[in-house]
A and B are shown apart, each in its own frame.
Chain A
Amino acid sequence: DGGITQSPKYLFRKEGQNVTLSCEQNLNHDAMYWYRQDPGQGLRLIYYSQIVNDFQKGDIAEGYSVSREKKESFPLTVTSAQKNPTAFYLCASSIRQITDTQYFGPGTRLTVL
């Protein structure tokens, strides 16, 4: 049963703490993406990776970091430098290019207290 999993669904953290959001896919896709969604706004790209051990910043990369050590996994770390981290985070993957159909995980809602 192929797809994208994100865990956890809800995450609470204290201000000043780093937190890592998990994203795993078993679709054998080369490309993976992290988006952030805020109320009343469209999805905004944080980081994307088109191949293992390589990734590029999106529009709002400041305060975030990623790694792509395995094809299946693309974890996102929200650092204490991110000024407004409370948001809904979506991970996606596609076969190769950014305009290929992107398959999304169910998302993680992060709340920083």
Chain B
Amino acid sequence: DQQVKQNSPSLSVQEGRISILNCDYTNSMFDYFLWYKKYPAEGPTFLISISSIKDKNEDGRFTVFLNKSAKHLSLHIVPSQPGDSAVYFCAASESNYQLIWGAGTKLIIKP
């Protein structure tokens, strides 16, 4: 029973365009959400987070949107750059309990 789902295993986007990565969750008690990025042969690195009291958080080229009614989270990368090619994981937590992770989406930025 996956509480956090990333339904697209991979996504291919042209350099300079917007990349949109999606994440759905089932537990309405989740109150904190994070995105991590992973390059091959490295551990994941933190990208951006959002609390359930917000619906948007922005950090440079990265924006995370939270739609609580739809239980949906998305990460927007604008503009996409070659260095953004990586696997992106979303994760969620309820009341500071353990993180529940999605399976990841592999983003490929085409030149």
Query: Which residues of A come within 8 Å of B, CB atoms?
Result: 4, 35, 40-45, 48, 58-59, 90, 92, 97-99, 101-107
Closest 6 CB pairs of A and B: A104-B43, A42-B101, A43-B101, A101-B46, A42-B103, A42-B102
Query: Which residues of B come within 8 Å of A, CB atoms?
Result: 2, 4, 9, 32, 34, 41-46, 89, 91, 93, 96-104
Min CB–CB distance B70 → chain A (angstroms): 20
Min CB–CB distance A22 → chain B (angstroms): 14
Chain A interface mostly helix, strand, loop or mixed? loop
7 of the cross-chain contacts (CB-CB < 8 Å) are A43-B44, A43-B89, A45-B98, A90-B43, A97-B96, A101-B46, A102-B46
Min CB–CB distance A63 → chain B (angstroms): 18
Contact indicator A99/B99 (Cβ below 8 Å): yes
Measured in the bound complex, the distance between the Cα atoms of B45 and A40 in whole Å is 19
Contact indicator A41/B93 (Cβ below 8 Å): no
Known: A42-B4, A92-B43, A102-B99. 5 other contacts (CB 8 A): A42-B89, A43-B44, A43-B99, A45-B99, A98-B97
Measured in the bound complex, the distance between the Cα atoms of B4 and A105 in whole Å is 23
A42 touching B100 in the complex, CB below 8 Å, given contacts A98-B93, A99-B32, A99-B93 = yes
Chain B positions within 8 Å of A41 at CB level: 103
A99 touching B96 in the complex, CB below 8 Å, given contacts A42-B89, A42-B102, A42-B103 = yes
Measured in the bound complex, the distance between the Cα atoms of B100 and A58 in whole Å is 11
Chain B positions within 8 Å of A45 at CB level: 98-99
Min CB–CB distance B101 → chain A (angstroms): 3
Contact indicator A48/B103 (Cβ below 8 Å): no
Q: Which of A98, A105, A107 contacts B99 (CB 8 A)?
A: A98
Chain B positions within 8 Å of A92 at CB level: 43
Chain B positions within 8 Å of A4 at CB level: 43
Measured in the bound complex, the distance between the Cα atoms of B42 and A107 in whole Å is 7
Chain A positions within 8 Å of B91 at CB level: 42-43
